[in-house]
């Protein structure tokens, strides 16, 4: 059973900032989507252990500089109707970065629950490809429900952290293949090898670089990558999940990209919506968009 003191909670947001509890650590970070006034008292905000302030376009500083531990942990419980309680959990080892990240994006948790449900409902081991897989949330969710997952990320240090998260989640013995590679290059090689998958998961950045300096621009390269994913699933995936945090791509655009690329030009329309975090008082903080199939 999960120790609730180790779970995540959005305490408050407003004035372009959000107050979050990751396990036992409370932090104050920027959030451009957090419009309007804050709702809790100033003392609650002042109780944050550290506050992140951006100093350039992409980086910044935590203050006080030595307030946060080098690492700490948080958990997410993944209940669903296909599994009996106690429900499974996945655990993350967090650490502060100069970019304001800590090693997990909590807005993805609703999709981790969805993945557990869909993989468990298949009643057979699905072969899943997870691209831009970061520290492994979707990988671990699919694996604990019985999927065989190929986890692909361009950063070797991030893949090491994902493997560490698998270990502390007691999932190190699951069928997970860990790959450090550029997503487009890897998919092209898989096609040449004749590999096929039952499902695909993607969380592409707006901009990025592969391990050998390959450039990624979402508006330029996403359609090509989705077409490759469609071929790797024979245009008939058991499941597909694409999430996006780029301001230039809304739900309708992402749905069109996903339908055309993965299912073909006359393919099935995915369900779409916004990623969000729910605060303690029930308000929603917009955190991106998604397209997934089946809904």
Does 120 share its domain with 66?
A: no
Angle among Cα 8, 14, 18 to the nearest 5 degrees reads: 30
Does 174 share its domain with 239?
A: yes
Does 214 share its domain with 132?
A: yes
Question: E strands along the chain, which residues?
Answer: 8-14, 17-22, 25-30, 50-54, 60-63, 72-77, 89-94, 127-131, 148-153, 176-180, 199-202, 207-209, 215-217, 239-244, 271-278, 284-293
Does 36 share its domain with 131?
A: no
pLDDT at residue 63, as a whole number:
97
Question: 116 burial class (0-12, 13-18, 19+ CB within 10 angstroms)?
Answer: buried
Does 157 share its domain with 195?
A: yes
Predicted TM-score of the model (pTM) = 0.94
* pLDDT tens by residue, 4-63: 568 999 999 999 999 999 999 999 999 999 999 999 999 999 999 999 999 987 899 999
* pLDDT tens by residue, 111-156: 999 999 999 999 899 999 999 999 999 999 999 999 999 999 999 9
Percent of the chain scoring above 90 in pLDDT: 87
Q: How far apart are CA 70 and CA 220, in angstroms?
A: 37
Does 67 share its domain with 114?
A: no
Nearest partner of 18 among 5, 60, 44, judged by Cα: 44
* pLDDT tens by residue, 214-230: 889 999 999 999 999 99
Residue 79 — pLDDT band, cuts 50, 70, 90? confident
Does 147 share its domain with 57?
A: no
Q: In this model, does residue 2 exceed pLDDT 60?
A: no
pLDDT at residue 265, as a whole number:
74
Nearest partner of 240 among 264, 206, 214, 207, judged by Cα: 264
Does 43 share its domain with 128?
A: no
Domain span including residue 172: 99-293
For the chain, the domain total comes to 2
CATH of the domain at 17: 2.60.40.1180
């Amino acid at each position: 059973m999960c120790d609730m003191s180790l779970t995540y909670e959005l305490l408050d947001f407003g004035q372009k900032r959000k107050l979050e509890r990751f396990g036992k650590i409370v932090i104050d970070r920027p959030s451009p989507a957090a419009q309007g006034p804050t709702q809790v008292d100033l003392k609650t905000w002042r109780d944050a252990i550290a506050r992140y302030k951006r100093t350039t376009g992409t980086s910044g500083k935590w203050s006080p500089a030595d307030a946060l531990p080098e690492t700490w942990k948080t958990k997410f419980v993944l209940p669903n109707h296909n599994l009996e309680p106690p429900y499974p959990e996945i655990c993350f080892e967090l650490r502060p970065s100069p970019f304001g990240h800590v090693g997990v994006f909590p807005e993805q948790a609703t999709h981790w629950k969805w993945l557990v449900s869909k993989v468990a409902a298949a009643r057979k081991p699905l072969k899943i490809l997870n691209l831009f897989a970061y520290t492994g949330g979707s990988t671990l969710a699919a694996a604990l429900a019985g999927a065989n997952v190929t986890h692909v990320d361009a950063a070797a240090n991030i893949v090491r952290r994902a493997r560490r998260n698998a270990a502390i989640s007691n999932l190190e013995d699951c069928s997970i293949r860990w790959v450090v590679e550029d997503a487009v290059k890897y998919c092209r090689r898989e096609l040449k090898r004749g590999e096929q998958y039952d499902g695909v998961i993607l969380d592409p950045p707006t901009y990025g670089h592969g391990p050998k300096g390959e450039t990624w621009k979402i508006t330029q390269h996403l359609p090509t990558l989705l077409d490759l994913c469609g071929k790797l699933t024979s245009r008939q995936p058991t499941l597909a999940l694409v999430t996006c945090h780029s301001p230039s791509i809304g739900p309708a655009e992402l749905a069109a990209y996903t339908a055309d690329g993965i299912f073909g030009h006359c393919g099935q329309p995915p369900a779409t919506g916004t990623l969000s975090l729910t605060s303690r008082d029930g308000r929603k903080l917009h955190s991106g968009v998604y397209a997934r199939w089946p809904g």
